[in-house]
Amino acid sequence: MRSSSLAALALINLPIAWFGVGAGPVRAEEAIPMTEETSTPDPMAAPAPAEDPTEDPQAASPDPTKDWRGTVEIYGFAPLRATGSVTIRGFESDVDADLGDILSALDWLTYVRGSVEKGRWGLLTDLSYVKLSGEDGRTGRRGLFTGNTEVSTTQGIYDFALRYRFGSPETAIAEPGHYSFIPYAGVRVLDMGLDVKAEIREIDGDRRFGAERSFDRTWAQPLLGFQATYFLSPKLRAFARADIGGFDFSGAKDYTGNAQLGLGYAVGNNTDLTLSWRYLGINYSNGDERPSGIRSYQNGIEMGVKFFF
């Protein structure tokens, strides 16, 4: 940059030295002796090219709309209460369970979310799988019969969607007032399974009465939703999420929905701890003469760890 500055100064001073400003012509005795170091510049010579500031790596700033970004969130959903019903070929059973009932029957769970974007367009996914099983045995009041029931349920919900971001990129830390609003549209795949085994046995004899019924169904729903974030302080943000799927697309009754509201707190430059309230609803019936389906309404606490990269 020094050679560029000297060239610019020479060009600025050249007409002043050559023609003068508000003064008479330069007298011969006042002229500066010519030497190799002080030779008269050629007015017809092309000026030295100035450096292009775009070639300076410090002056060039990358376009944030062209960067790849992503998030991964590992979380857990703990329903404080779950209500609804399960119908298998016309036989309906009501469900009303609290968190203790759910935890005692829990066999496996997996929850993970992720997103990736380039510019403002991106993809997101939300994958969850839960398996519950339980056994209940009872003896009749007269002590003549004993009954035993085994129940096993699986619930898989897999979301895949295209998203577009308004506002700032998703980060763990930002200035207060920064926000993002991300609508999305895609598909939700549900995989539900229910197995029920019931047996009644005579205590003093060999007579047994048993029944087994099962319901397994995998189907897809159109999905619409949004997620939003607003920074309350550099490390604390409020966030919300809501979606709806189904629109009776794959059954006589077919819809699902989520609503979520919570806070995230940064514990590093790229890591967030999240705590939120969440509601999840599922209502499905195949519409057969002896219908099978499920109604499930859950609300509770969700906690997670979210990574930004």
| Cβ atoms of residues 68 and 280 within 8 Å | no
Give the mean model confidence (pLDDT) for residues 234-252: 91
Residue 256 to residue 218: CA distance in whole angstroms: 14
Do both 170 and 33 map to the same domain? Answer: no
Do the domain assignments include residue 196?
A: yes
Do both 169 and 51 map to the same domain? Answer: no
State the residue range of the domain holding 27: 2-55
Q: What percent of the chain has pLDDT over 70?
A: 70
Number of H helices, E strands in the chain: 2, 12
- pLDDT (0 to 100) of residue 30: 44
Residues in a beta bridge with 102: none
Do both 302 and 201 map to the same domain? Answer: yes
The pairing of strands 145-164 and 106-118 is unpaired
Whether residue 229 is predicted with pLDDT greater than 60 in this model: the reply is: yes
Do both 30 and 126 map to the same domain? Answer: no
Do the domain assignments include residue 87?
A: yes
- pLDDT (0 to 100) of residue 236: 98
| Cβ atoms of residues 242 and 256 within 8 Å | no
Whether residue 20 is predicted with pLDDT greater than 60 in this model: the reply is: no
Do both 234 and 124 map to the same domain? Answer: yes
Whether residue 137 is predicted with pLDDT greater than 80 in this model: the reply is: no
- pLDDT (0 to 100) of residue 47: 54
Do the domain assignments include residue 61?
A: no
Do both 82 and 212 map to the same domain? Answer: yes
Do both 49 and 87 map to the same domain? Answer: no
Among the residue ranges 12-26, 88-102, 285-299, the one predicted with the least confidence is: 12-26
Instruction: Provide the pLDDT confidence category of residue 292 given band limits of 50, 70 and 90.
Output: confident
159-175 per-position pLDDT tens digit = 999 999 999 999 999 99
Do the domain assignments include residue 126?
A: yes
Do both 235 and 304 map to the same domain? Answer: yes
Do both 42 and 131 map to the same domain? Answer: no
Q: Average per-residue pLDDT in the chain? A: 80
Do the domain assignments include residue 62?
A: no
pTM of the model: 0.73
Do the domain assignments include residue 14?
A: yes
How many independent structural domains does the chain possess?
Answer: 2
| Cβ atoms of residues 121 and 68 within 8 Å | no
Residue 6 to residue 18: CA distance in whole angstroms: 17
**CATH code at position 168:** 2.40.128.90
Q: What percent of the chain has pLDDT over 90?
A: 54
- pLDDT (0 to 100) of residue 129: 98
Q: Which residue has the higher pLDDT, 293 or 223?
A: 223
